[in-house]
Structure 1
Amino acid sequence: MARYLALRVLQAIWVLWAAFTLSFIVLYLLPADPISIAADGGGAGTPVDKAAIAELQARYGLDRPLWEQYWTALWHAVRGDLGHSIGTGQPVTSALGDALPSTLALTGLALVFATVGGVAVAFAATYTRRPWLRTTLAALPSLGVSVPTFWTGLLLLQLFSFQWRLVPAFGGHGFAGTVLPAVTLALPIGAVIAQVLTAGLAATWRQPFVDVALAKGGSRWWVQRKHVLRPASVPTFTIAGVLVGNMLAGSVVVETVFARQGVGRLTQTAVLAQDIPVVQGVVLLTSAVFVTVNLAVDLLYPLLDPRIAARSGRSLAAEETPEPSGTVEGVAIRG
């Protein structure tokens, strides 16, 4: 287990380094100058003092060679210093700290909605014996994935905020101000969960141990909960990292539609202004969340399916067992 964890930590470090490097290269290949954008007020057309631009470039180290900028930024990032925003001058860690609570509340509630809705649709689609209902429920995830997030958000705003006036339209706080953005963000994620879990449940129902459990007198509902759900949910947990990434990416659209402050709006503003330190900070934060979720999922696998732990134990035992003396390519020679 210690060796496994060490390898996973090394993989996480590699992913963080690759994300930092790729974002650095892409941002510096863009033709626009972030200092000029910041000095021009985002393109307001006001005259820009060249001396002031040169001073800002020297302050942020943008007048140095590219390789020197890269190593300096990487060394500071390793020490936890993500620099300062070019547009506001605020430390990037402070900007992320201010924006993160709102996004965590949004994504947390959306994950609850997506999980409950996706599991409910998958359970109903595999539990029912009515073909028409099974077909209808199985088609819902495809519809949820195909509908654009911004269209869903605008539709929910029109119905629940402008027409029925049940929740605030923009910038609300608490559950009332978060429920519509969370539902908007949860629909495509819940659709993916329903798709994968439905396929897993259907495949597990065809396994021989399910027939044995039914033959012993277990009801379909009891067998589905006790014997089918855990092994069928392994593929769903496998894509957990992708789902978390989709939620963070979707928060950009959702927070823009609902005028919410968070990491999504911070990312949008930073990309438009080509604020390199802020964009790199967001990339590192997203990558850290991604590798942490994937590591947690890997550690949960044996709890979901004990056969995984058994196979892993046999593999480790085979690696650690030395070959017997007097063998050729692992085959014992008998005298």
Structure 2
Amino acid sequence: MARYILTRLLQAVFVLWAAFTVSFILLQALPGDEILIKFENPDLGLSKQQIADIRLAYGADVPLHQQYLFSLGRVLSGQLGNSIQRGVPVIDAIAANLPSTLRLTVLGFVTAASLALVIAFLATLTPFAFLRSLLRGLPSLFISLPVFWLGIVLIQVFSFQLKLIPVIGAGPWEGLVLPVLALAIPISAPLAQVLMRSIDEVETQGFVAVARAKGASRRWVLWRHVFRNAVPPTLTIGGVLFGELLAGAVVTETVFGLNGLGRLTEQAVNLQDAAILQAIVLIAALGFVLVNLSVDLAMPILDPRLRKAFGGAS
């Protein structure tokens, strides 16, 4: 077990390093210059020599490998640098926008998991074949809906047509209803698909037939025996979907005009604010790594077969 944990930790460190390296290379390859975008504004009245001095102060003219090592060392020391465009430390900009994005992603994932659970159980328990086929076809429909299109449709229907949830002037929690739905519906599709397949596979196992032969109802067997064994594969795909959840949150915040990492990313892209973009990539990678690491460490606890295997290996 200890070897397994150490391996997963080393893989997590490698993923973070790879995310930093790839994002650094891509950001450096972008056309344009964020310093010139910021300081060549005629309204500032800066001379060419003054702009050259600013570039020297920011280390923009040093070789690329030196910039990489400096940036890597800064991140390892817990510093994310300063935003040239905003004129503030990157950590301050992130701290001001991260809580709203975390609230949206957590609520979106909980809603997606709940929706997937309801679809899977109804599709398994319903005695009507047409309803079962309909429920099993919903994930294919949900996964094909683009987040930005779904968000626009939800605004049009629930805000403009039905006037149930206002888009402008909504409260802090009321304003999250539509964004959470727009984020959760596409994410719920793969969760529901994997959960339904896992339930179908577990129901063919011998212990399920034994439990039914003893007089237990199908609903009781489903909840007490089948569901417990069908959860681990669903939990695994849930960890993988976390990256898609973050990407969907960025799009959702842009569609609904929410302040968060999505809006910050949009502004940073428009201004070519490399420091902000680098930090957002690292935060997304860190979140993805932590969630998947938690899932990997929880799997031996949830699945007795894995726990026995690790026990035997150690």
SS in 2 for 1:63: coil
* Number of the residue aligned with 1:74: 72
Cα distance, 1:244–1:66 mapped onto 2, change above 3 Å: same
In 1, Cα distance between equivalents of 2:40 and 2:129: 63
In 2, Cα distance between equivalents of 1:170 and 1:106: 18
* Number of the residue aligned with 1:50: 48
In the TM superposition, what whole-angstrom CA distance separates every residue of 1:41-98 from its partner, at most 9, and x where no partner exists? Answer: 7xx9999853343233223211111010000000000001110112102111111111
**Equivalent residues of 2:40, 2:51 under 8 A apart:** no
Report which structure shows greater RCO (CA 8 Å, sep ≥6).
2
* Number of the residue aligned with 1:189: 187
Write the mapping of 1:273-292 to structure 2, written as runs, cut at 5 A: 273-292=271-290
In 1, Cα distance between equivalents of 2:51 and 2:236: 48
Give 1:28 deviation, angstroms.
0.6
Q: How many residue pairs were aligned? A: 314
- Structure 1 unaligned residues grouped into runs of 5+: 317-335
SS in 1 for 2:31: coil
1:39 maps onto 2:39 in alignment:
yes
* Number of the residue aligned with 1:215: 213
Cα distance, 1:21–1:133 mapped onto 2, change above 3 Å: same
**Equivalent residues of 1:240, 1:293 under 8 A apart:** no
In 2, Cα distance between equivalents of 1:35 and 1:131: 63
Give 1:241 deviation, angstroms.
2.5
Higher gyration radius (CA): 1
Cα distance, 1:49–1:166 mapped onto 2, change above 3 Å: farther
In the TM superposition, what whole-angstrom CA distance separates every residue of 1:137-157 from its partner, at most 9, and x where no partner exists? Answer: 011001001011111111111
User: What amino acid is aligned across from residue 66 of structure 1 in structure 2?
Assistant: L
User: What amino acid is aligned across from residue 91 of structure 1 in structure 2?
Assistant: P
Give 1:170 deviation, angstroms.
4.3
* Number of the residue aligned with 2:13: 13
Give 1:132 deviation, angstroms.
1.2
User: What amino acid is aligned across from residue 176 of structure 1 in structure 2?
Assistant: E
Instruction: Calculate the TM-score normalised by the size of structure 1.
Output: 0.89
Cα distance, 1:157–1:65 mapped onto 2, change above 3 Å: same
* Number of the residue aligned with 1:322: none
Of 241, 244, 249, the residue aligned with 1:243 is 241
In 2, Cα distance between equivalents of 1:170 and 1:15: 40
* Number of the residue aligned with 2:99: 101
In 2, Cα distance between equivalents of 1:55 and 1:178: 46
User: What amino acid is aligned across from residue 24 of structure 1 in structure 2?
Assistant: F
Give the number of the structure whose residues are more often helix, by fraction: 2
**Equivalent residues of 1:86, 1:275 under 8 A apart:** yes
In 2, Cα distance between equivalents of 1:244 and 1:145: 15
In the TM superposition, what whole-angstrom CA distance separates every residue of 1:185-224 from its partner, at most 9, and x where no partner exists? Answer: 0011111211111111111111111111111111111111
Sequence identity percentage: 48
Which stretches of structure 1, 4 residues or more, deviate above 3 A after TM superposition?
A: 44-53, 170-173
Bigger drift between 127-136 and 93-102 goes to: 127-136
In 2, Cα distance between equivalents of 1:74 and 1:170: 42
In 2, Cα distance between equivalents of 1:240 and 1:45: 50
In 1, Cα distance between equivalents of 2:33 and 2:25: 14
In the TM superposition, what whole-angstrom CA distance separates every residue of 1:275-331 from its partner, at most 9, and x where no partner exists? Answer: 111111111111111111111111221232211111222233xxxxxxxxxxxxxxx
SS in 2 for 1:174: coil
* Number of the residue aligned with 1:302: 300
* Number of the residue aligned with 1:131: 129
In 2, Cα distance between equivalents of 1:253 and 1:113: 18
Q: In angstroms, what is the RMSD of aligned CA positions? A: 1.9
Cα distance, 1:251–1:39 mapped onto 2, change above 3 Å: farther
SS in 2 for 1:239: helix
**Equivalent residues of 1:171, 1:259 under 8 A apart:** no
Cα distance, 1:312–1:82 mapped onto 2, change above 3 Å: same
